[in-house]
Amino acid sequence: MDLQEIAAFYRAYIDCLNRQDWEDLHLYVSRDVHYNGKSLGLHGYEAMLVEDHRSIPDLYFKIERLVCEPPMIASRLWFDCTPAGTLFDLPVNGKRVQFSENVFYEVENGRIRNVWSVIDKAAVAAQLSGAESSLGEGT
């Protein structure tokens, strides 16, 4: 994939996640996908995403930054959501929280093969404790 193709591929993948179109997930994710170094496989990856949507009913992946250098994709995703119970072992219980995820993807044979993710859990903890977070959208 060239630069435009990989960017369009990634945007279509994020759209698939936002639509919760699990039947089409295989179009974007390899059967032997790894997440943060752990082999999940397509079914394990899908199960993780389904659970994310179950625990965060209004989950929406917003691309804030996107940098592509095929076969690599780097993205900063923004979330503004109301998790139903706990999030990152924190008792959110329906409170609206905002946080970012910095994630790298490696595409192999037209599918995402490796995902490395770092989620700003400290921003959620700060919001729950009433402290102001300095990591707002666009910063």
pTM of the model: 0.90
Q: Across the chain, what does the average pLDDT equal?
A: 93
For residue range 122-133, list pLDDT tens digits in order.
Answer: 999 999 988 544
Chain CA centroid to CA 138, Å: 17
In one letter, which amino acid is 2? D
Q: Is the pLDDT of residue 138 over 50?
A: no
* Average confidence (pLDDT) over 82-108: 93
Residue in this structure with the two tokens 């093969």, named with its chain if needed: 113
The pLDDT value given to residue 131: 55
Closest by CA position to 118, among listed 50, 39, 37: 37
For residue range 6-62, list pLDDT tens digits in order.
Answer: 999 999 999 999 999 999 999 999 999 999 999 999 999 999 999 999 999 999 999
Cβ pair 53, 84 in contact under 8 A: no
99 vs 85, higher pLDDT: 99
In one letter, which amino acid is 110? G
